[in-house]
């Protein structure tokens, strides 16, 4: 396993539409392991393959809660070719952040519940309902696979402000 570099806004790769994973191979399993290690190291709760410059429809996620001692028993999940097959009309608002837009958080409104279909690492197709943080996170990560960022849900003013901030930071880093 290896920690991979997470690409940061304004990197144009973040706007790519990811390609479907044709087959669960050793290479895909290795990428999923690397993504989990990268996500835990960041630290984050979700990561799309495009965030590590791999334009494939692959997501890792871990929403494990901390216990009374502050310890977390990891519950890593891998979603291959995930898609939302149904969504509730009821909406919910969560404060979202993104490993590709570090240290920026904003409230985003999304469907409160979704039904997601995906393939697991064993090649099995699974369909399940998601609500709460799981629903928000899976929608956020699937958006990444479609070249959409959570800042796209913000007002033009807020979106322009964050894009300008990250573009300036990228220029400074490149000097």
Decide if 3 is inside a domain. Answer: no
pLDDT in tens, 73-131: 789 999 999 999 999 999 999 999 999 999 999 999 999 999 999 999 999 999 999 99
pTM, to two decimals = 0.94
Query: Of residues 37, 107, 131, 141, which has the active-site annotation?
Result: 141
Task: Identify whether 4 is part of a domain.
Answer: no
CATH number reported for the structural domain that contains residue 138 in this entry: 3.90.45.10
Residue 141 annotated among the catalytic residues of the structure: yes
C-alpha dihedral over 17, 20, 43, 14, to 10 degrees?
-10
Host domain of residue 114: 12-174
Query: Do the domain assignments include residue 141?
Result: yes
Q: Number of folded domains in the chain?
A: 1
């Amino acid at each position: 396993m290896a920690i991979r570099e997470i690409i940061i806004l304004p990197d144009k790769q973040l706007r790519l539409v990811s390609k479907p994973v044709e087959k669960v191979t050793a290479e895909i399993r290795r990428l999923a392991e690397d993504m989990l290690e990268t996500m835990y190291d960041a630290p984050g709760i979700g990561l799309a393959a495009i965030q590590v410059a791999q334009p494939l429809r692959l997501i890792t996620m871990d929403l494990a809660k901390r216990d009374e001692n502050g310890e977390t028993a990891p519950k890593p999940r891998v979603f291959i070719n995930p898609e939302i097959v149904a969504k509730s009309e009821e909406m919910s608002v969560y404060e979202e952040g993104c490993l590709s837009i570090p240290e920026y958080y904003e409230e985003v409104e999304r469907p409160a519940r979704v039904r997601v279909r995906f393939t697991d690492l064993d090649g099995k197709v699974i369909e399940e309902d998601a609500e709460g943080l799981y629903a928000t996170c899976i929608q956020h990560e699937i958006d990444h696979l479609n070249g959409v960022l959570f800042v796209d849900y913000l007002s033009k003013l807020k979106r322009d402000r964050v894009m300008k901030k990250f573009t300036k930071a990228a220029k400074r880093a490149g000097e």
